């Protein structure tokens, strides 16, 4: 599973690149962590990873915002997309019930390109969509990383890129 750090930094960086301010991007990106709150119930990758379940709660909020607070509609749509980024990223790391309950299989997408460094002409491309029946299991304990060395490295590279972008853009505007 992408660790919480990755679930946060990916939408955060996209939002910053789209021109959303740091405070707002931080708030929105934090919403990407919501689907993993299912671990508090000792179940992981449960209904909270289903786009239908997410939309069941977000669609009425979008509708209310559109009718009563039209200025907030874009923010609510962005928040919904950020939350949906979580199960999307999970699809590429393990079985995720993204279409449950309309589709009773969890999906795992594997995309890899591997080569033998002794003979780089031997390239193997793997694209596979794996399915398994959705079964939500209650477990006594769930051991998952909050962050890993790889996640910290990715986060630091992205943050350095965002800082450099900000530095060069502000320098360009002052000229």
pLDDT single digits (tens) 111-164: 999 998 888 788 999 999 999 999 888 877 777 788 899 999 999 999 999 999
Q: Which residues contact 108 (CB under 8 A, 6 or more apart)?
A: 91, 92, 93, 94, 95, 96, 129, 130, 131, 132
Is residue 45 over pLDDT 80? yes
Is residue 1 over pLDDT 60? no
Sign of CA dihedral 24, 25, 29, 30: negative
Sign of CA dihedral 29, 30, 31, 33: positive
Averaged pLDDT score across all residues of the chain? 91
- pLDDT recorded at residue 121: 84
Q: With beta carbons less than 8 A apart as the criterion, state whether 146 and 4 touch.
A: yes
């Amino acid at each position: 599973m992408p660790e919480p750090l990755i679930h946060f930094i990916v939408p955060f960086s996209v939002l910053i690149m789209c021109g959303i301010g740091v405070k707002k991007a931080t708030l929105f990106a934090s919403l990407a962590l919501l689907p993993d709150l299912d671990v508090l119930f000792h179940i992981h990758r449960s209904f909270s990873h289903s786009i239908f379940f997410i939309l069941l709660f977000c669609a009425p909020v979008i509708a209310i915002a559109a009718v009563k607070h039209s200025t907030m509609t874009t923010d609510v749509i962005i928040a919904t997309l950020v939350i949906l980024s979580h199960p999307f990223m999970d699809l590429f790391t393990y079985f995720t019930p993204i279409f449950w309950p309309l589709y009773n299989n969890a999906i795992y997408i594997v995309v890899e390109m591997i080569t033998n460094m002794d003979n780089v002409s031997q390239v193997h491309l793997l694209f596979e969509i794996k399915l398994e029946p959705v079964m939500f299991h209650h477990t006594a304990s769930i051991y998952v990383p909050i962050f890993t060395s790889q996640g910290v490295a990715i986060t630091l590279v992205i943050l350095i890129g965002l800082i450099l972008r900000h530095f060069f853009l502000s320098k360009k505007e002052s000229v």
